[in-house]
Chain A
Amino acid sequence: MIKKLNELKAGQRGIIVSFKGKGDLKRYLMGMGFVKGADIELRRVAPLGDPVEIRIKGYSISLRKEEAKNIEVNVK
């Protein structure tokens, strides 16, 4: 099932299928491992509901839901 990254529940995993948008930030995130085919997990949501902690390429990174919604994930 394909979902936007911000819609994943804490602990859900999947594989990135697409990354929408353009520009510096996208390029930067791609550099940090957000490329097609990468395994990804939404580890947890911050206490106030945003940002989220993402596990990718063996490390943890924090993103706001605003940025996460451009990334589509095939949920396992």
Chain B
Amino acid sequence: MEKIKIALAGNPNVGKSTLFNQLTGMRQHVGNWPGKTVEKKEGAFRYGDYEIEVVDLPGNYSLSAYSIEEIVSRDYIVDEKPDVIVNVIDAANLERNLYLTVQMMELGANIVLALNMNKFASEKELEIKSNTLYQLLGIPVVKIEASDKTGREDLLNAIVKVSKKPNDVSNRLNYGKELSEHIQQLQEIVEENTLSGAPSSWMAIKLLENDKIIIETVEKTLNGPNILSDVKRIQKHLMEVFGEDADEALADARYGFIAGLIKESVKKPKIDKITRSEYIDRVVTNRYLGIPIFLLIMWLTFQITFTVGAPFQEIVETFFGWLGETIAGIMGTNWFSSLIVDGIIGGVGGVLVFVPIIFLLFLMLSLLEDSGYLARAAFVMDKFMHKIVGLHGKSFIPMILGFGCCVPGIMATRTLENEKDRLLTMLIVPFMSCSARLPVYALFAAAFFTAYQGWVIFSIYILGMIVAILMALIFKKTIFKGMSAPFVMELPPYRRPTIKGALIHTWERGYLFIKKAGTIIFALSVVIWVLSSLPMGVEYASQASVTGQLGTAIAPVFAPLGFGEWQPAVSLLFGVLAKEVVVSTFGTIYGVGEDGGGIMMALHDTFSPLAAYSFMAFVLLYIPCFATVATIKRETNSWKWPIFTILYTTVVAWAVSFIIYQGGSLLGFA
């Protein structure tokens, strides 16, 4: 079987991931905000006699060296030399999309154009003659619809054909005589010096554009200084001719070339039609309504999650209570039934109870993400984030995703172009209360604040945001001094989230939660049960057990925070692995199996309501889970930031809980 290596490239948010999923049958995450695919993803599928390997590249507007995504994409094209690049294009946005195409042609890529989203193009009354485009560019142009299978056969045919007989696109690009001559001239100099593996004409263009990476590469070569002085000379000459910098002249020339293409191949209406998105934005980002709507949407997200989730949660709770009692009834009281009922059902069941609300939370976040609202939230909040907090409007997206899970939140910081902004956002995302912490609040709020459950939980979320903002302020004044990056972000058209899409996302993310309950939390529940039963003959989960001794050893640290008993101490210790474990530890040591209210009753012996609130705040703020720390390590490629995160979050957690408990006591709360 023959192998064909293809890569999907294109502007952000044009449907590359959707096409990737359609081709490979995989289920990569798809969302409606630019910059979602932060690292390249790979897959493979069969087509006739071919095995086609696909790489989904992050979205780019151009191949300059402005952001990490751009560098990842162009390095891939230069170094890996895929057989075919499928350039996915938003047909409703042809002009800007073709700018990248032109740059990939400069790079000598072997391209197939996949015109996607033709529906939106027809809504805008654009009529694209793909055959004319093909003749002008020398590149096959296929109309597809990534979301169904329209055009799939044609696309695959074109891919195979082009892989056999690469496009000949030399001399297609026309930047005018003056520019072409000088590119040619510089190209010859590059060739004489046999620089790197990239095409010489592309190197010449990038040198003229002052591309920092290419200049660095050239600087290191033997003849580097001479080449760069040649570049300077040509740039000066072009400045005299065009009255503008070479990079500007090149951008003008590219857009000029594209304007010619469009004129020949697209029929468009005289005036831009006012789109549905525009009508929505008139309300959603309105001067007076923008911020109230943002707050309302955030509030509704949580309100719906909890009110709709509550009855389902009760059903699951009742089920585990019944299961525990039934098993205890059948097996009687012995060590094995204790392992099953106290250890496993107490631990794993204690966490699974929260599956309904966690699924709902993910569903709400998926809807926000797929609709295109997140980009508007960044637009509305940028000034606040920028001027007051010193963050970046785009920091908002990682922060909101952090409510679901901090791992994707931290990965999404890659859309921030400035390294300082990115690190800063990474450090505060863990304060966004992720879904794994929800079981802890839900348990404590139900046990201590029955009448105000919703408000108490909401206040914890707000507390997390306030701490995040305060810490950002402090960091910005100390370790991350300096300017933040400009705010340049596309506002994609709103799209109606599909039920299927939203359910798939919800299931994928929710499934991970269940899987974690079945693996890590299951294993830890057994470990905690064992530790609670040792040494031999000790009363189960008493202070004399290993668990009890561990907890007793570290408990004094927490005494000033209002929970100096050994049980909360040990649950926090295990909770570092995953925050749900705080709940499963209580479940295991208090033995929830006997009856439903078990944990709650037992909690009242250990905590006062004030101490319970202080504990919730501590769980919110202290060391993010293992997975988050590991992600920070991977994303920063050093141990410095993950270790810093562990230390500073713990200090912050202790300080905040101290203020809550001691302050609350002074004010006369108990």
A residues lining the B interface (CB < 8 Å): 19, 22, 24-33, 35-38, 43-51, 53, 55, 57-64, 66-67
Q: How far is the CB of A57 from chain B (nearest CB, A)?
A: 5
Q: Name 6 A/B residue pairs within 8 A (Cβ), A-sorted.
A: A30-B248, A44-B282, A47-B286, A50-B383, A50-B387, A57-B96
Interface assignment of B25: CB less than 8 Å from any CB of chain A: no
How far does the alpha carbon of A29 sit from the alpha carbon of B93 in the complex, in Å?
16
How far does the alpha carbon of A48 sit from the alpha carbon of B384 in the complex, in Å?
7
How far does the alpha carbon of A47 sit from the alpha carbon of B293 in the complex, in Å?
11
Residue in contact with B491 in the complex, picked from A25, A38, A57, A60, CB distance below 8 Å: A60
Residues of A within 8 A of B375 (CB): 62
Taking a contact as CB atoms under 8 Å apart, the answer to whether A31 and B61 are in contact is yes
Sorting the interface of chain B by its residue count into under 10, 10 to 19, 20 to 34 or 35 or more gives: 35 or more
How far does the alpha carbon of A37 sit from the alpha carbon of B67 in the complex, in Å?
26
Residues of A within 8 A of B255 (CB): 33, 35, 38
Q: Which of B170-178, B482-490, B565-573 faces chain A?
A: B482-490
Known contacts A27-B64, A28-B66, A31-B64; A61/B489 CB under 8 A? yes
Taking a contact as CB atoms under 8 Å apart, the answer to whether B490 and A61 are in contact is yes
Residues of B within 8 A of A35 (CB): 248, 251-252, 255
Interface assignment of B56: CB less than 8 Å from any CB of chain A: no
Q: How far is the CB of A22 from chain B (nearest CB, A)?
A: 7
How far does the alpha carbon of A68 sit from the alpha carbon of B288 in the complex, in Å?
23
Residues of A within 8 A of B100 (CB): 31
Q: Bits for B63-85, please: 1 = Cβ < 8 Å to A, else 0.
A: 01111000000000000000000
Taking a contact as CB atoms under 8 Å apart, the answer to whether A46 and B380 are in contact is yes
Taking a contact as CB atoms under 8 Å apart, the answer to whether A51 and B124 are in contact is no
The majority secondary structure among interface residues of chain A is mixed
Interface assignment of B272: CB less than 8 Å from any CB of chain A: yes
Known contacts A35-B251, A38-B255, A47-B285; A62/B486 CB under 8 A? no
Q: How far is the CB of B380 from chain A (nearest CB, A)?
A: 6
Q: How far is the CB of B542 from chain A (nearest CB, A)?
A: 57
Q: How far is the CB of A30 from chain B (nearest CB, A)?
A: 4
Taking a contact as CB atoms under 8 Å apart, the answer to whether A67 and B486 are in contact is yes
Taking a contact as CB atoms under 8 Å apart, the answer to whether B281 and A61 are in contact is no
How far does the alpha carbon of A31 sit from the alpha carbon of B288 in the complex, in Å?
33
How far does the alpha carbon of A55 sit from the alpha carbon of B124 in the complex, in Å?
15
Taking a contact as CB atoms under 8 Å apart, the answer to whether B285 and A27 are in contact is no
| Top-6 shortest CB links A-B | A31-B62, A48-B383, A47-B290, A30-B251, A28-B66, A60-B491
How far does the alpha carbon of A46 sit from the alpha carbon of B489 in the complex, in Å?
13
Interface assignment of B481: CB less than 8 Å from any CB of chain A: no
How far does the alpha carbon of A74 sit from the alpha carbon of B84 in the complex, in Å?
42
**Extra contacts besides A32-B488, A51-B383 (8): CB < 8 Å:** A28-B61, A28-B488, A35-B255, A47-B285, A47-B287, A47-B290, A58-B93, A59-B490
With both beta carbons as reference points, the residue of chain A lying nearest to B288 in the complex is identified as A47
Residue in contact with A29 in the complex, picked from B281, B286, B488, CB distance below 8 Å: B488
Taking a contact as CB atoms under 8 Å apart, the answer to whether A45 and B272 are in contact is no
Known contacts A32-B61, A46-B383, A67-B488; A51/B291 CB under 8 A? no
How far does the alpha carbon of A29 sit from the alpha carbon of B663 in the complex, in Å?
51
Residues of B within 8 A of A62 (CB): 375, 378-379, 382, 393, 487-491
Residues of A within 8 A of B62 (CB): 27-28, 31-32
Residues of B within 8 A of A45 (CB): 287
Taking a contact as CB atoms under 8 Å apart, the answer to whether B287 and A24 are in contact is no
Taking a contact as CB atoms under 8 Å apart, the answer to whether B95 and A57 are in contact is yes
Residues of A within 8 A of B287 (CB): 44-45, 47
Residues of A within 8 A of B285 (CB): 44, 46-47, 53
Residues of B within 8 A of A48 (CB): 291, 380, 382-384
Q: How far is the CB of B19 from chain A (nearest CB, A)?
A: 20
Residue in contact with A51 in the complex, picked from B96, B282, B379, CB distance below 8 Å: B379
Taking a contact as CB atoms under 8 Å apart, the answer to whether B486 and A64 are in contact is yes
Q: Which of B100, B124, B486 has the most CB of A within 10 A?
A: B486
Taking a contact as CB atoms under 8 Å apart, the answer to whether B488 and A53 are in contact is no
Residues of A within 8 A of B272 (CB): 55, 58
Taking a contact as CB atoms under 8 Å apart, the answer to whether B92 and A58 are in contact is yes
Residues of B within 8 A of A63 (CB): 486-488
With both beta carbons as reference points, the residue of chain B lying nearest to A35 in the complex is identified as B255
How far does the alpha carbon of A35 sit from the alpha carbon of B383 in the complex, in Å?
26
Q: Which of A28, A37, A44, A61 has the most CB of B within 10 A?
A: A28
Q: Which of A38, A45, A55, A58 has the most CB of B within 10 A?
A: A58
Residues of B within 8 A of A60 (CB): 277, 281, 490-491
Taking a contact as CB atoms under 8 Å apart, the answer to whether B64 and A28 are in contact is yes
